[in-house]
Amino acid sequence: MGTDLHAPLGQNRGSGRKRRRPPFGRILGGLCLIAIASFSLYSALLRDNLQKTPPVETAEKASSSPAPASDKPAMANQTTGLTQVDPQSGADTHRIVTSDGSVVTMFSPNTRDGDGPVLINANQVGQDPRMAATPNNALLEDSPFGKLPIIAPSGLRPMDQYARPWSGARGTRVAIVVSGLGLSQTGTQRAIEKLPEEITLAFAASGNSLQRWMQEARRGGHEILIQVPFEPFDYPSNNPGPDTLLTSQPAAKNIEDLHKAMAEITNYTGVMNYLGGRFLSNADAMEPVMRDIGKRGLLFLDDGSSAQSKSGTVAKTLEVPHAFADMQLDGELQQDAILKKLDELERIARRNGSAIGVASAFDESVDAISKWSEEAAMRGIEIVAVSALADDPKHP
Protein backbone atom coordinates (compact mmCIF):
# COMPACT_ATOMS: atom_id res chain seq x y z
CA MET A 1 0.00 0.00 0.00
CA GLY A 2 2.86 2.31 0.78
CA THR A 3 4.36 1.44 -2.54
CA ASP A 4 1.15 2.48 -4.31
CA LEU A 5 1.10 5.85 -2.57
CA HIS A 6 4.60 6.72 -3.75
CA ALA A 7 4.19 5.43 -7.29
CA PRO A 8 3.55 8.04 -10.00
CA LEU A 9 -0.04 8.22 -11.17
CA GLY A 10 -0.76 5.44 -13.62
CA GLN A 11 2.63 3.66 -13.32
CA ASN A 12 1.17 0.77 -11.39
CA ARG A 13 -0.91 -0.19 -14.47
CA GLY A 14 -0.02 -3.11 -16.56
CA SER A 15 2.04 -2.72 -19.69
CA GLY A 16 -0.97 -3.44 -21.90
CA ARG A 17 -1.79 -1.99 -25.35
CA LYS A 18 -1.36 1.76 -25.59
CA ARG A 19 -4.74 3.67 -25.72
CA ARG A 20 -5.41 5.85 -28.78
CA ARG A 21 -7.08 9.22 -28.85
CA PRO A 22 -10.56 9.44 -30.53
CA PRO A 23 -10.27 10.43 -34.24
CA PHE A 24 -12.11 13.75 -33.88
CA GLY A 25 -10.81 15.10 -37.19
CA ARG A 26 -12.07 12.13 -39.16
CA ILE A 27 -15.46 12.26 -37.43
CA LEU A 28 -15.82 15.98 -38.18
CA GLY A 29 -14.87 15.48 -41.82
CA GLY A 30 -17.39 12.71 -42.18
CA LEU A 31 -20.14 14.85 -40.76
CA CYS A 32 -19.30 17.63 -43.24
CA LEU A 33 -19.50 15.21 -46.17
CA ILE A 34 -22.86 13.93 -44.94
CA ALA A 35 -24.18 17.53 -44.57
CA ILE A 36 -23.06 18.49 -48.07
CA ALA A 37 -24.62 15.39 -49.61
CA SER A 38 -27.88 16.00 -47.73
CA PHE A 39 -28.05 19.65 -48.83
CA SER A 40 -27.42 18.70 -52.49
CA LEU A 41 -30.21 16.12 -52.35
CA TYR A 42 -32.58 18.65 -50.68
CA SER A 43 -31.81 21.32 -53.31
CA ALA A 44 -32.46 18.89 -56.15
CA LEU A 45 -35.78 17.84 -54.66
CA LEU A 46 -36.75 21.47 -53.95
CA ARG A 47 -35.93 22.55 -57.52
CA ASP A 48 -38.05 19.77 -58.96
CA ASN A 49 -40.90 20.71 -56.64
CA LEU A 50 -40.71 24.39 -57.61
CA GLN A 51 -40.81 23.51 -61.29
CA LYS A 52 -44.02 21.59 -60.70
CA THR A 53 -45.63 24.39 -58.70
CA PRO A 54 -48.37 26.26 -60.62
CA PRO A 55 -48.07 30.07 -61.06
CA VAL A 56 -48.97 32.13 -58.02
CA GLU A 57 -52.50 33.46 -58.14
CA THR A 58 -52.87 37.20 -58.42
CA ALA A 59 -55.51 39.48 -56.89
CA GLU A 60 -57.21 39.80 -60.25
CA LYS A 61 -58.03 36.10 -60.53
CA ALA A 62 -58.56 33.36 -58.02
CA SER A 63 -57.11 30.72 -60.35
CA SER A 64 -55.62 30.53 -63.82
CA SER A 65 -54.26 28.02 -66.27
CA PRO A 66 -51.60 28.91 -68.86
CA ALA A 67 -52.60 28.62 -72.47
CA PRO A 68 -51.63 25.26 -73.98
CA ALA A 69 -48.33 25.27 -75.82
CA SER A 70 -50.12 24.14 -78.98
CA ASP A 71 -52.22 27.34 -78.94
CA LYS A 72 -49.16 29.61 -79.13
CA PRO A 73 -47.95 30.49 -82.62
CA ALA A 74 -44.87 28.56 -83.68
CA MET A 75 -41.73 30.59 -84.30
CA ALA A 76 -38.60 29.55 -86.09
CA ASN A 77 -35.36 29.27 -84.15
CA GLN A 78 -37.01 30.34 -80.91
CA THR A 79 -35.53 29.65 -77.50
CA THR A 80 -37.34 28.83 -74.30
CA GLY A 81 -39.81 31.56 -73.36
CA LEU A 82 -40.74 33.02 -70.00
CA THR A 83 -44.40 33.25 -69.02
CA GLN A 84 -45.41 35.77 -66.37
CA VAL A 85 -48.76 36.95 -65.03
CA ASP A 86 -49.58 40.59 -65.71
CA PRO A 87 -50.27 42.16 -62.28
CA GLN A 88 -52.97 44.46 -63.67
CA SER A 89 -54.95 42.25 -66.06
CA GLY A 90 -54.09 38.72 -64.92
CA ALA A 91 -53.20 37.76 -68.50
CA ASP A 92 -50.18 35.62 -69.31
CA THR A 93 -47.28 37.56 -70.80
CA HIS A 94 -45.10 35.14 -72.79
CA ARG A 95 -41.70 36.42 -73.94
CA ILE A 96 -39.65 34.45 -76.45
CA VAL A 97 -36.04 35.24 -77.32
CA THR A 98 -35.33 34.36 -80.95
CA SER A 99 -31.97 33.27 -82.38
CA ASP A 100 -31.08 36.82 -83.43
CA GLY A 101 -31.55 38.11 -79.89
CA SER A 102 -34.86 39.92 -80.43
CA VAL A 103 -37.68 39.50 -77.92
CA VAL A 104 -41.22 38.64 -79.01
CA THR A 105 -43.95 39.33 -76.44
CA MET A 106 -47.36 37.64 -76.58
CA PHE A 107 -50.35 38.27 -74.34
CA SER A 108 -52.80 35.42 -73.78
CA PRO A 109 -55.95 35.62 -71.61
CA ASN A 110 -56.52 33.20 -68.79
CA THR A 111 -59.74 31.31 -68.23
CA ARG A 112 -61.17 31.00 -64.79
CA ASP A 113 -61.76 27.48 -63.51
CA GLY A 114 -63.79 26.58 -60.47
CA ASP A 115 -66.81 28.31 -59.01
CA GLY A 116 -65.20 30.07 -56.05
CA PRO A 117 -65.11 33.81 -55.53
CA VAL A 118 -62.94 35.98 -57.75
CA LEU A 119 -60.77 38.66 -56.15
CA ILE A 120 -60.59 41.79 -58.24
CA ASN A 121 -58.08 44.53 -57.60
CA ALA A 122 -58.88 47.66 -59.61
CA ASN A 123 -56.11 49.57 -61.33
CA GLN A 124 -54.27 51.71 -58.87
CA VAL A 125 -55.16 55.36 -59.17
CA GLY A 126 -52.31 57.79 -58.95
CA GLN A 127 -48.55 57.56 -59.20
CA ASP A 128 -45.77 57.34 -56.66
CA PRO A 129 -44.78 61.01 -56.06
CA ARG A 130 -41.13 60.05 -56.45
CA MET A 131 -41.88 58.96 -60.03
CA ALA A 132 -44.57 61.52 -60.88
CA ALA A 133 -42.45 63.30 -63.50
CA THR A 134 -41.43 60.04 -65.19
CA PRO A 135 -43.80 58.66 -67.84
CA ASN A 136 -44.96 55.06 -67.74
CA ASN A 137 -43.64 53.60 -71.00
CA ALA A 138 -46.50 51.10 -71.10
CA LEU A 139 -48.82 54.10 -71.61
CA LEU A 140 -46.95 55.55 -74.60
CA GLU A 141 -46.63 54.78 -78.29
CA ASP A 142 -44.38 56.27 -80.94
CA SER A 143 -45.83 58.52 -83.61
CA PRO A 144 -44.40 60.88 -86.28
CA PHE A 145 -44.97 63.71 -83.80
CA GLY A 146 -43.52 62.07 -80.68
CA LYS A 147 -44.88 59.94 -77.85
CA LEU A 148 -48.66 59.65 -77.66
CA PRO A 149 -50.71 58.33 -74.73
CA ILE A 150 -52.35 54.91 -75.05
CA ILE A 151 -54.12 52.39 -72.85
CA ALA A 152 -51.71 49.70 -71.62
CA PRO A 153 -52.28 46.02 -72.54
CA SER A 154 -53.37 45.53 -68.92
CA GLY A 155 -56.17 48.10 -69.37
CA LEU A 156 -54.44 50.78 -67.29
CA ARG A 157 -55.33 54.24 -68.59
CA PRO A 158 -53.24 57.42 -68.44
CA MET A 159 -56.26 58.96 -66.70
CA ASP A 160 -55.79 56.48 -63.86
CA GLN A 161 -51.99 56.41 -63.72
CA TYR A 162 -51.48 60.17 -63.60
CA ALA A 163 -54.54 61.12 -61.55
CA ARG A 164 -54.05 62.82 -58.22
CA PRO A 165 -55.53 60.60 -55.47
CA TRP A 166 -58.20 61.99 -53.19
CA SER A 167 -59.86 60.88 -49.95
CA GLY A 168 -62.86 59.14 -51.55
CA ALA A 169 -65.19 60.81 -49.06
CA ARG A 170 -68.52 61.96 -50.48
CA GLY A 171 -68.36 65.41 -48.98
CA THR A 172 -68.31 68.75 -50.75
CA ARG A 173 -65.67 68.66 -53.46
CA VAL A 174 -64.28 71.42 -55.64
CA ALA A 175 -61.86 71.13 -58.57
CA ILE A 176 -60.05 74.21 -59.85
CA VAL A 177 -58.17 74.20 -63.15
CA VAL A 178 -55.64 76.92 -63.94
CA SER A 179 -55.00 77.01 -67.69
CA GLY A 180 -52.62 78.62 -70.15
CA LEU A 181 -49.44 77.41 -68.51
CA GLY A 182 -46.38 77.52 -70.74
CA LEU A 183 -47.39 80.73 -72.53
CA SER A 184 -45.56 82.94 -70.03
CA GLN A 185 -42.38 81.59 -68.49
CA THR A 186 -42.49 83.77 -65.38
CA GLY A 187 -46.23 83.29 -64.98
CA THR A 188 -45.89 79.52 -65.31
CA GLN A 189 -43.13 79.33 -62.73
CA ARG A 190 -45.08 81.48 -60.30
CA ALA A 191 -48.24 79.41 -60.70
CA ILE A 192 -46.42 76.12 -60.11
CA GLU A 193 -44.63 77.46 -57.06
CA LYS A 194 -47.56 79.25 -55.43
CA LEU A 195 -50.65 77.20 -56.20
CA PRO A 196 -51.52 74.37 -53.79
CA GLU A 197 -50.80 70.92 -55.17
CA GLU A 198 -54.52 70.07 -55.28
CA ILE A 199 -55.02 72.57 -58.14
CA THR A 200 -55.06 71.04 -61.64
CA LEU A 201 -52.78 72.72 -64.18
CA ALA A 202 -53.51 72.84 -67.93
CA PHE A 203 -50.61 73.41 -70.33
CA ALA A 204 -51.20 75.15 -73.66
CA ALA A 205 -49.86 73.02 -76.51
CA SER A 206 -48.39 76.15 -78.12
CA GLY A 207 -46.40 77.03 -74.99
CA ASN A 208 -42.65 76.92 -74.48
CA SER A 209 -40.45 74.59 -72.42
CA LEU A 210 -43.47 72.40 -71.77
CA GLN A 211 -41.52 69.27 -70.90
CA ARG A 212 -39.60 71.13 -68.23
CA TRP A 213 -42.72 72.72 -66.77
CA MET A 214 -44.57 69.41 -66.87
CA GLN A 215 -41.88 67.83 -64.73
CA GLU A 216 -41.93 70.72 -62.27
CA ALA A 217 -45.72 70.54 -61.94
CA ARG A 218 -45.75 66.77 -61.47
CA ARG A 219 -43.01 66.88 -58.86
CA GLY A 220 -45.09 69.51 -57.08
CA GLY A 221 -48.02 67.07 -56.84
CA HIS A 222 -50.27 68.63 -59.49
CA GLU A 223 -52.48 66.72 -61.88
CA ILE A 224 -52.08 68.15 -65.37
CA LEU A 225 -53.99 68.46 -68.66
CA ILE A 226 -52.95 69.33 -72.22
CA GLN A 227 -54.83 72.28 -73.69
CA VAL A 228 -55.66 71.91 -77.40
CA PRO A 229 -56.71 74.88 -79.61
CA PHE A 230 -60.20 74.58 -81.09
CA GLU A 231 -61.87 76.88 -83.60
CA PRO A 232 -63.81 79.78 -82.03
CA PHE A 233 -66.83 81.42 -83.68
CA ASP A 234 -64.82 84.48 -84.76
CA TYR A 235 -61.94 82.55 -86.31
CA PRO A 236 -59.63 83.66 -87.93
CA SER A 237 -60.01 87.10 -86.38
CA ASN A 238 -59.55 85.31 -83.06
CA ASN A 239 -56.87 82.71 -83.73
CA PRO A 240 -55.99 80.26 -80.92
CA GLY A 241 -52.65 79.51 -82.57
CA PRO A 242 -50.98 77.04 -84.93
CA ASP A 243 -52.57 73.65 -85.64
CA THR A 244 -56.01 74.76 -84.48
CA LEU A 245 -58.68 72.11 -84.99
CA LEU A 246 -61.19 73.46 -87.54
CA THR A 247 -64.70 72.43 -88.54
CA SER A 248 -63.77 72.97 -92.21
CA GLN A 249 -60.89 70.49 -92.08
CA PRO A 250 -61.18 66.76 -92.80
CA ALA A 251 -61.34 64.58 -89.71
CA ALA A 252 -57.92 63.09 -90.53
CA LYS A 253 -56.30 66.54 -90.45
CA ASN A 254 -57.94 67.38 -87.13
CA ILE A 255 -56.72 64.09 -85.65
CA GLU A 256 -53.23 64.89 -86.92
CA ASP A 257 -53.32 68.32 -85.26
CA LEU A 258 -54.68 66.73 -82.09
CA HIS A 259 -51.75 64.30 -82.02
CA LYS A 260 -49.27 67.13 -82.50
CA ALA A 261 -50.65 68.77 -79.38
CA MET A 262 -50.78 65.50 -77.42
CA ALA A 263 -47.13 64.77 -78.17
CA GLU A 264 -45.90 68.00 -76.59
CA ILE A 265 -45.81 66.50 -73.07
CA THR A 266 -46.61 63.31 -71.18
CA ASN A 267 -48.08 62.40 -67.79
CA TYR A 268 -51.42 64.15 -68.26
CA THR A 269 -54.86 62.79 -67.49
CA GLY A 270 -56.83 64.47 -70.24
CA VAL A 271 -57.46 67.13 -72.87
CA MET A 272 -58.95 70.57 -72.28
CA ASN A 273 -60.16 72.93 -74.99
CA TYR A 274 -58.53 76.28 -75.65
CA LEU A 275 -61.33 78.51 -77.00
CA GLY A 276 -63.30 76.52 -79.59
CA GLY A 277 -66.91 77.68 -79.40
CA ARG A 278 -67.59 76.79 -83.05
CA PHE A 279 -65.80 73.46 -82.99
CA LEU A 280 -67.39 72.32 -79.72
CA SER A 281 -70.86 73.10 -81.08
CA ASN A 282 -70.32 70.90 -84.16
CA ALA A 283 -71.06 67.26 -83.26
CA ASP A 284 -69.75 65.93 -86.58
CA ALA A 285 -66.38 67.62 -86.05
CA MET A 286 -66.21 66.62 -82.39
CA GLU A 287 -67.05 62.93 -82.84
CA PRO A 288 -63.74 61.64 -84.32
CA VAL A 289 -61.71 63.85 -81.98
CA MET A 290 -63.60 62.71 -78.89
CA ARG A 291 -63.34 59.09 -80.02
CA ASP A 292 -59.55 59.34 -80.30
CA ILE A 293 -59.31 60.95 -76.86
CA GLY A 294 -61.39 58.17 -75.35
CA LYS A 295 -59.53 55.29 -76.96
CA ARG A 296 -56.30 56.68 -75.51
CA GLY A 297 -57.62 56.48 -71.97
CA LEU A 298 -57.96 60.23 -71.44
CA LEU A 299 -60.73 62.47 -70.15
CA PHE A 300 -62.05 65.59 -71.85
CA LEU A 301 -62.64 68.80 -69.91
CA ASP A 302 -64.92 71.40 -71.46
CA ASP A 303 -64.08 74.80 -69.98
CA GLY A 304 -67.76 75.81 -70.11
CA SER A 305 -67.15 78.93 -72.19
CA SER A 306 -69.62 77.92 -74.92
CA ALA A 307 -73.29 77.46 -74.08
CA GLN A 308 -73.74 75.67 -77.42
CA SER A 309 -71.12 73.03 -76.72
CA LYS A 310 -72.09 69.44 -77.55
CA SER A 311 -69.02 67.88 -75.99
CA GLY A 312 -71.04 66.31 -73.18
CA THR A 313 -73.52 64.67 -75.54
CA VAL A 314 -70.80 63.31 -77.82
CA ALA A 315 -68.71 62.08 -74.89
CA LYS A 316 -71.68 60.28 -73.34
CA THR A 317 -72.53 58.61 -76.64
CA LEU A 318 -68.96 57.39 -77.08
CA GLU A 319 -68.54 56.58 -73.36
CA VAL A 320 -65.58 58.93 -72.99
CA PRO A 321 -64.73 60.31 -69.52
CA HIS A 322 -65.94 63.90 -69.52
CA ALA A 323 -66.15 66.92 -67.24
CA PHE A 324 -67.80 70.30 -67.71
CA ALA A 325 -66.70 73.42 -65.87
CA ASP A 326 -69.40 75.15 -63.84
CA MET A 327 -67.81 78.58 -63.80
CA GLN A 328 -65.16 80.85 -65.31
CA LEU A 329 -63.50 82.39 -62.29
CA ASP A 330 -61.55 85.33 -63.71
CA GLY A 331 -63.79 86.97 -66.27
CA GLU A 332 -63.13 90.11 -64.22
CA LEU A 333 -59.42 90.27 -63.51
CA GLN A 334 -59.43 91.59 -59.96
CA GLN A 335 -58.60 89.55 -56.89
CA ASP A 336 -61.74 90.54 -54.96
CA ALA A 337 -63.95 89.68 -57.92
CA ILE A 338 -62.25 86.30 -58.32
CA LEU A 339 -62.69 85.56 -54.60
CA LYS A 340 -66.42 86.26 -54.96
CA LYS A 341 -66.57 83.84 -57.89
CA LEU A 342 -64.83 81.20 -55.78
CA ASP A 343 -67.39 81.68 -53.01
CA GLU A 344 -70.12 81.23 -55.60
CA LEU A 345 -68.40 78.06 -56.81
CA GLU A 346 -68.44 76.79 -53.24
CA ARG A 347 -72.19 77.37 -53.00
CA ILE A 348 -72.70 75.35 -56.19
CA ALA A 349 -70.58 72.54 -54.76
CA ARG A 350 -72.55 72.50 -51.50
CA ARG A 351 -75.78 72.31 -53.43
CA ASN A 352 -74.69 69.68 -55.97
CA GLY A 353 -71.96 67.87 -54.08
CA SER A 354 -69.19 69.05 -56.40
CA ALA A 355 -68.22 71.86 -58.76
CA ILE A 356 -65.45 72.73 -61.22
CA GLY A 357 -64.01 76.20 -61.76
CA VAL A 358 -61.48 77.29 -64.39
CA ALA A 359 -59.15 80.27 -64.53
CA SER A 360 -56.11 81.49 -66.43
CA ALA A 361 -52.62 81.73 -64.99
CA PHE A 362 -52.75 85.48 -64.32
CA ASP A 363 -51.13 86.74 -61.13
CA GLU A 364 -54.48 87.95 -59.77
CA SER A 365 -56.05 84.54 -60.37
CA VAL A 366 -53.16 82.65 -58.81
CA ASP A 367 -53.18 84.86 -55.72
CA ALA A 368 -56.94 84.61 -55.22
CA ILE A 369 -57.05 80.85 -55.71
CA SER A 370 -54.13 80.32 -53.32
CA LYS A 371 -55.80 82.40 -50.62
CA TRP A 372 -59.24 80.84 -51.04
CA SER A 373 -57.86 77.29 -51.08
CA GLU A 374 -56.20 77.72 -47.69
CA GLU A 375 -59.49 78.79 -46.11
CA ALA A 376 -61.71 76.26 -47.91
CA ALA A 377 -60.31 73.26 -46.02
CA MET A 378 -61.36 74.82 -42.71
CA ARG A 379 -64.92 75.02 -44.04
CA GLY A 380 -65.01 71.33 -44.90
CA ILE A 381 -64.32 71.72 -48.61
CA GLU A 382 -62.09 69.11 -50.22
CA ILE A 383 -60.19 70.40 -53.23
CA VAL A 384 -59.66 67.56 -55.67
CA ALA A 385 -58.13 67.16 -59.11
CA VAL A 386 -60.46 67.34 -62.10
CA SER A 387 -60.21 63.58 -62.76
CA ALA A 388 -61.99 62.95 -59.45
CA LEU A 389 -65.09 64.78 -60.76
CA ALA A 390 -65.12 63.48 -64.32
CA ASP A 391 -68.12 61.46 -65.48
CA ASP A 392 -66.37 58.16 -66.13
CA PRO A 393 -68.45 55.37 -67.73
CA LYS A 394 -65.98 52.78 -66.42
CA HIS A 395 -66.46 53.92 -62.83
CA PRO A 396 -70.03 55.23 -62.55
3 state SS for the chain: CHHHHHCCCCCCCCCCCCCCCCCHHHHHHHHHHHHHHHHHHHHHHHHHHHHHCCCCCCCCCCCCCCCCHHHCCCCCCECCCEEEECCCCCCEEEEEEECCCCEEEEEECCCCCCCCCCCCCCCCCCCCHHHCCCCCHHHEEEECCEEEECCCCCCCCHHHHCCCCCCCCCCEEEEEEEEEECCCHHHHHHHHHHCCCCCEEEEECCCCCHHHHHHHHHHCCCCEEEEEEECCCCCCCCCCCCCCECCCCCHHHHHHHHHHHHCCCCCCCEEEEEECHHHHCCHHHHHHHHHHHHHCCCEEEECCCCCCCCHHHHHHHHCCCEEECCEECCCCCCHHHHHHHHHHHHHHHHHHCEEEEEEECCHHHHHHHHHHHHHHHHHCEEECCHHHHCECCCCC
Q: Is residue 50 part of a domain?
A: no
Selected residue with higher pLDDT from 338 and 17: 338
Same domain for 151 and 231? yes
In the predicted structure, residue 70 carries a pLDDT above the cut 90 = no
| 352: CATH | 3.20.20.370
Same domain for 242 and 319? yes
- Give me the mean pLDDT over the 362-378 stretch: 96
Same domain for 212 and 182? yes
Q: Is residue 7 part of a domain?
A: no
Selected residue with higher pLDDT from 66 and 243: 243
| Total domain count, the chain | 2
Q: Which domain holds residue 85?
A: 69-108
Q: What is the pTM of this model?
A: 0.70
d(CA 174, CA 81): 50
Q: Convert the pLDDT of each residue in 6-41 to its tens digit.
A: 444 444 444 444 445 555 556 666 666 676 666 655
Residue 72 is predicted with a pLDDT of: 39
Residue 122 is predicted with a pLDDT of: 40
Q: Convert the pLDDT of each residue in 267-321 to its tens digit.
A: 999 999 999 999 999 999 999 999 999 999 999 999 999 999 999 999 999 999 9
Same domain for 331 and 206? yes
